[in-house]
Chain A
Amino acid sequence: MDNVYKPDLMEVTNVRQQTPDVKSMSLRFLDPGRARNFSFQVGQFGIFSAFGYGESTFNICSSSNWKDHIEICFRKVGRVTEALWRTEEKDVVGFRGPYGNGYPMEAWKGRDLIFLGGGIAMPPIRCAVWYALENRADYGDITVVYGARTVADLVFLNELDEWAKSERVRIIRCVDPSGETPGWKGEIGFVPHVFERAQVAAKDPVVLVIGPPIMIKNTLPILDKMGVKPASVYTSIENRMKCGIGKCGRCNVGPLYLCKEGPVLTMEQLQRLPADY
Chain B
Amino acid sequence: MSTAAEFEPKIVAYVCNWCTYLGADLAGTARLEYPPNVRIIRLPCTGRIDFNLIIKALEVGADGVLVSGCHPGDCHYTSGNYHARRRWILFRELLNALGIDLRRIRFTWISAAEGRKWQGVVTEFTEQTRALGPYKELYAAGPVPNVPAPETATTEVRSFAAETELRATCRKLLAEGTVKVVIGYGARGPVVVTRPEDADRLVWNNHCYSNLTAYLKRKEIKALGKAAVIVKPCDEKSLVVLETESQFQRQDAQVIGMACEGVGQPKCAHCTARTPRFADVTFGKAAGPEPQGSPSPDRFAALMAMPSEERMAFWTEEFNRCVKCYACRQVCPMCYCERCIVDKNRPLAIDPAPSTKGNFAWQIARAFHLAGRCVGCGECSRACPAGIDLALLNISLRIAVQENFGHEAGVDPKAEPVIGSYALQDKEDFIG
Asked if chains A and B are in direct contact (CB within 8 A), the reply is: yes
Q: State the A residues within 8 Å of B (CB).
A: 54, 78-79, 82
Q: Which residues of A contact B348 (CB under 8 A)?
A: 79
Q: Which residues of A contact B246 (CB under 8 A)?
A: none
Chain B nearest CB: distance from A5 CB in Å? Answer: 15
Q: Does B136 reach chain A (CB closer than 8 Å)?
A: no
Secondary structure class of chain B's binding surface, majority of residues: loop
Interface centre among A54, A78, A79, A82 (most CB of B within 10 A): A79
Q: Which residues of B contact A79 (CB under 8 A)?
A: 345-346, 348
Chain B nearest CB: distance from A80 CB in Å? Answer: 9
Kindly identify, within residues 274 to 302 of chain B, every residue whose CB is under 8 Å from any CB belonging to chain A. none
Kindly identify, within residues 320 to 377 of chain B, every residue whose CB is under 8 Å from any CB belonging to chain A. 345-346, 348
Q: List 7 A-B contacts (CB under 8 A).
A: A54-B345, A78-B345, A78-B346, A79-B345, A79-B346, A79-B348, A82-B346
CA–CA, A82 to B347, complex, Å? 12
Q: Which residues of B contact A78 (CB under 8 A)?
A: 345-346
Residue of B nearest to A79 (CB): B345
Q: Which residues of A contact B345 (CB under 8 A)?
A: 54, 78-79
CA–CA, A79 to B348, complex, Å? 9
Residue of A nearest to B345 (CB): A79
Q: Which residues of B contact A54 (CB under 8 A)?
A: 345
The interface size of chain B toward A, counting residues with CB under 8 Å, comes to 3
Residue of A nearest to B347 (CB): A79
Q: Which residues of A contact B346 (CB under 8 A)?
A: 78-79, 82
CA–CA, A54 to B345, complex, Å? 10
Chain A nearest CB: distance from B347 CB in Å? Answer: 8
CA–CA, A130 to B347, complex, Å? 39
**Which 7 A-B pairs give the minimum distances between C-beta atoms?**
A79-B345, A79-B346, A79-B348, A78-B346, A82-B346, A78-B345, A54-B345
CA–CA, A78 to B347, complex, Å? 11
CA–CA, A54 to B346, complex, Å? 12
Chain B nearest CB: distance from A53 CB in Å? Answer: 8
Kindly identify, within residues 376 to 432 of chain B, every residue whose CB is under 8 Å from any CB belonging to chain A. none
Residue of A nearest to B346 (CB): A79
CA–CA, A79 to B345, complex, Å? 7
CA–CA, A78 to B345, complex, Å? 9
Kindly identify, within residues 26 to 81 of chain B, every residue whose CB is under 8 Å from any CB belonging to chain A. none
Chain A nearest CB: distance from B392 CB in Å? Answer: 35
Chain A nearest CB: distance from B209 CB in Å? Answer: 31
CA–CA, A82 to B345, complex, Å? 12
Chain A nearest CB: distance from B417 CB in Å? Answer: 31
Chain A nearest CB: distance from B341 CB in Å? Answer: 14
Chain B nearest CB: distance from A110 CB in Å? Answer: 47
Chain B nearest CB: distance from A50 CB in Å? Answer: 12
CA–CA, A188 to B345, complex, Å? 39
Q: 0/1 per residue, B107-134, Cβ < 8 Å to A?
A: 0000000000000000000000000000
CA–CA, A79 to B346, complex, Å? 6
Residue of B nearest to A80 (CB): B345
Q: Which residues of B contact A82 (CB under 8 A)?
A: 346
Chain B nearest CB: distance from A12 CB in Å? Answer: 22
CA–CA, A54 to B347, complex, Å? 13
CA–CA, A79 to B349, complex, Å? 13
Chain B nearest CB: distance from A33 CB in Å? Answer: 33
Chain B nearest CB: distance from A76 CB in Å? Answer: 12
Chain B nearest CB: distance from A239 CB in Å? Answer: 19
Residue of B nearest to A82 (CB): B346
CA–CA, A82 to B348, complex, Å? 14
Kindly identify, within residues 251 to 284 of chain B, every residue whose CB is under 8 Å from any CB belonging to chain A. none
CA–CA, A82 to B346, complex, Å? 10
Chain A nearest CB: distance from B339 CB in Å? Answer: 13
Residue of A nearest to B344 (CB): A79
Residue of B nearest to A52 (CB): B348
CA–CA, A119 to B346, complex, Å? 25
CA–CA, A269 to B346, complex, Å? 37
CA–CA, A54 to B352, complex, Å? 13
Chain B nearest CB: distance from A78 CB in Å? Answer: 7
CA–CA, A68 to B345, complex, Å? 34
CA–CA, A26 to B345, complex, Å? 27
Residue of A nearest to B348 (CB): A79
CA–CA, A103 to B194, complex, Å? 49
Residue of B nearest to A54 (CB): B345
Chain A nearest CB: distance from B358 CB in Å? Answer: 15
Chain B nearest CB: distance from A185 CB in Å? Answer: 39
Chain B nearest CB: distance from A75 CB in Å? Answer: 15
